[in-house]
Amino acid sequence: MSDLTLYHNDACSKCRATAALLAERGLQPRVVEYLQTPPDAGTLRDLLTKLAIPARDLLRKGEPEYAALGLDDPALSDEAAIAAMVEHPRLIERPILIRDDRAVICRPPERALELIDGP
């Protein structure tokens, strides 16, 4: 199996469930504690390409920063959303599992199976 990387927050139940699902299958991903080592803008752009989603879809809408920064503005550009996530990494949706040039947001955690059982 190709290398796996898991963007993870240990306080998140979905992150813990995704890690457990991988462990049950004998898989040990490289874990990125993204709140402690936040991704830069280039890393986020690469991640968005692998996820095949616009930046807006990677934003956690329930975080206080989302409302405070006006990120619900329909005119928000991808670059503005990326800048907000760089400045406030809590805004990044999680968990994210990466395998080669593909990635999925593991909500629910079983979405990880798309990468580990897929081609």
Half-sphere exposure (Cβ direction) of 80: Cα atoms closer than 13 Å: 10
Domain coverage including residue 60: 4-116
For the segment 61-87, what is each residue's pLDDT rounded down to a tens digit? 999 999 999 999 999 999 999 999 999
Q: If DSSP codes are grouped into helix, strand and coil, which group holds residue 92?
A: strand
Q: Residue 1 above 60 pLDDT? A: no
Residues with a catalytic annotation lie at 12
CATH classification at residue 55: 3.40.30.10
For the segment 11-22, what is each residue's pLDDT rounded down to a tens digit? 999 999 999 999
Report the pLDDT averaged over residues 1-5: 79
Question: Are 10 and 2 within 8 A, CB to CB?
Answer: no
**What is the tally of structural domains in the chain?**
1
